[in-house]
Structure 1
């Protein structure tokens, strides 16, 4: 029998399924379906997700949504930064049409999920980073597993934790969100629970059982009832998995993190973390990541979190679109991606030699809206 190979155009990057449940209502299942790129998000994927989620939001026969990644390695490793890189270098100074459309659409998806009245389960197995963490953080029931590896590592490519990171990283215990944003440090399932970024730890072996249970469930026509029913349903799987939870890294390091972040100014915080010497290998690696990252990004990360503290989710996404647009129109992001993913020389030529060299004018320019009206005014 002749073996047929699928072309890239024939491979579905994201799959949508509607499963009829015991009550006659439906479970909507979204599968991010690009295993070879660890299910990284493309413009096509977020456009299709936005259209389907709007449909499911408005339909009375959709009771619950479940989001997962294809394969065993990742929910989603982030946005397709190589496509964003091409958009940035092809249109230096902007507008960078593909990249800016991607950011706007991605933020619309994340905001829609955050505001979704119906239960949204996100299965955060494997790598959950960048744009993947944006989708994960937006769920109403966020599952972490024994292999969950979460991070916002944008400091390494001259970006910053967007996709709502300016909102949810401001709501973690103490200064843990600031530390994770500056260092891009990865954290596990127990850390996510401590940080308030997950609802339950469930071993990955129960994935299909969970999906079957959600399908067999008699969902109510009342959205409020369904949120409570979902938590009741998941409780049994959490109890079965309790013994498999890994030891966390963030909570044991909380005192050191607070000491590092209690400096007199932004530059001092960055220098304290970058030069830290610790017997804790997780902390030591985090400091090294910041030391190698973009000094401009480090300053922008602190300023962005400061500006967004206390803002509504809508205002946060509008602010993120301003900053992301300005960054992609500049050179720092393209240089970071070049060094890490294109030439892979791991020797980025950052625009500033140190955090102290970044001027107030450099920072202010990144927060100036590049258009007369923010595209996310209506979201």
Structure 2
């Protein structure tokens, strides 16, 4: 049976190696699992310590997705089995989120270049893997989003951190609506660093093999080697402006509200807009969980000046609590289990969400005598 992550190396012409990690679950769009997180963490740690390895490439098997998100089926099963109703008693959820977030943080702080090939669908957990990479490649097929509002969660995996760092108020809008963007907007927003044509990826790998690498301690040189190669193959298949760039001024103007109900209503009115992309964004929000909308907006405000490590710790708390409250479970049920696409959210409106309900997500879920699972992130 094939591993859920395939590991290989590319031997460079001047005697070094490039590690290649391929998410290998194409039948489920490379949905990110606990096993994937564990295997990737082990191998990336080994490659980081190996002085023959000069860089790491993250990619996905198949031609549809780099990674479409987390393994929601396993999380759903763990929520059903947690009869006690205590968030900390869901062992799978707390261990999955710890290992996933720890890996994501490791990518952000990796001491060697990480090239992420974000071809096809890059959503949720896939975004977590990609946003911390030093060299993020997008293509004409890239479909990127943080659509957690649709499943009763919130933009996690460091989403609060990266969304706060996008131009203007675009991060707020993307968190609220789960709107999908392509390679052009990924470049405009700084979520992608290089836009290439999918057809040229094999040529890029050959050029990286032939490049003049230095030993790993010469990180700046190797970063520049990668940048030179990736910059040599600009996309020819797409050009112009994506919908976020096109509507940038409008998105900023609409996203200025601090009153949560008013902000929701302003976004909701886009459902009547003449632009199809804005309509779809508004309708996705309207079908999503009101509690998720409020939590996502509050997290962005709360973490505006927080460190990356503190963001991951806070998101961990919120994720573990989300696996208890029922909205996350209901969202997965409606989308993936019963597939009726008719979730029964509670609260049923943004106006019904209380401050007390939001503050609950920020509480440490572990017993008082235990350190936070991500306490060592600095």
Q: TM-score, normalised by structure 2?
A: 0.95
Distance 2:188 2:41 in 1: 30
Distance 1:262 1:131 in 2: 28
Q: Choose from 112, 131, 143 the match for 1:118.
A: 112
Q: Choose from 309, 332, 338 the match for 2:333.
A: 338
Q: Which runs of 5+ in 1 are unaligned?
A: 1-9
The size of the alignment, in residue pairs, is: 368
Displaced runs of 4 or more, over 4 A? none
Q: Choose from 20, 25, 41 the match for 2:32.
A: 41
Distance 1:102 1:234 in 2: 33
**3-state DSSP of counterpart to 1:250:** helix
2:267 aligned partner: 273
The answer as to whether partners of 1:201 and 1:245 remain within 8 angstroms in 2 is no
1:378 aligned partner: 376
The answer as to whether partners of 1:31 and 1:70 remain within 8 angstroms in 2 is yes
1:5 aligned partner: none
Deviations along 1:141-193, whole A, 9 cap, x unmatched?
11110110000100000001111111110001111001001100000001001
**3-state DSSP of counterpart to 2:21:** strand
**3-state DSSP of counterpart to 1:116:** coil
Cα 1:252/1:118, change in 2 over 3 Å: same
Residues 1:356 and 2:346 aligned together: no
Q: Choose from 283, 290, 314 the match for 1:288.
A: 283
The answer as to whether partners of 1:114 and 1:138 remain within 8 angstroms in 2 is yes
The answer as to whether partners of 1:275 and 1:291 remain within 8 angstroms in 2 is no
Deviations along 1:226-285, whole A, 9 cap, x unmatched?
0111111211112xx245336401011112212221224112111211232311111111
The answer as to whether partners of 2:123 and 2:147 remain within 8 angstroms in 1 is yes
Q: Give, in angstroms, the shift of residue 194 of structure 1.
A: 0.7
Distance 2:240 2:143 in 1: 11
Superposed, which structure 2 residues align to 1:4-83 within 5 Å? 10-83=1-74
1:150 aligned partner: 144
Distance 1:107 1:79 in 2: 12
2:224 aligned partner: 228
User: Alpha carbon RMSD of aligned pairs, Å?
Assistant: 1.2
The answer as to whether partners of 2:140 and 2:237 remain within 8 angstroms in 1 is no
Deviations along 1:200-235, whole A, 9 cap, x unmatched?
100000111111111222310111210111111211
Distance 1:171 1:39 in 2: 27
The answer as to whether partners of 1:72 and 1:126 remain within 8 angstroms in 2 is yes
The answer as to whether partners of 1:146 and 1:245 remain within 8 angstroms in 2 is no
1:4 aligned partner: none
Q: Which runs of 5+ in 2 are unaligned?
A: none
Distance 2:70 2:240 in 1: 27
Question: Which range moved further: 84-93 or 157-166?
Answer: 84-93
Q: Give, in angstroms, the shift of residue 11 of structure 1.
A: 2.4
2:323 aligned partner: 328
Q: Give, in angstroms, the shift of residue 117 of structure 1.
A: 2.1
Deviations along 1:80-107, whole A, 9 cap, x unmatched?
1111111112114332111211111011
The answer as to whether partners of 1:201 and 1:242 remain within 8 angstroms in 2 is no
Distance 2:168 2:241 in 1: 20
